Amino acid sequence: MAMKSTFYVEYAGNQVEDKAIIAQAKAIWTQQGNKMKDLTSLNLYVKPEENAVYYVFNDEISGQFPLV
């Protein structure tokens, strides 16, 4: 049987699940006109003290979005 895991970020009375952060990053990728099949790597850096998530798509494209 496979192990199920969930990762949460908790800060300032808020709680965000890893799946929500990943989904938001993937939505940004597709909103930029890209196809999911072209996303080969996704690196996320969560900085609760800045209320931000920094992302790097395919080791090339970077940006950030609010941690909500």
- Alpha-carbon gap, residue 64 to 47, rounded angstroms: 10
Enumerate the domain spans of the chain.
11-66
Looking at the predicted structure, is the pLDDT value of residue 48 above 90? yes
Give residue-wise pLDDT tens across range 2-31: 899 999 999 889 999 999 999 999 999 999
CA angle 13–47–55, rounded 5-degree value: 125
For residues 53 and 13, the answer to whether their CB atoms sit within 8 Å is no
Distance CA 55, CA 50 (A): 14
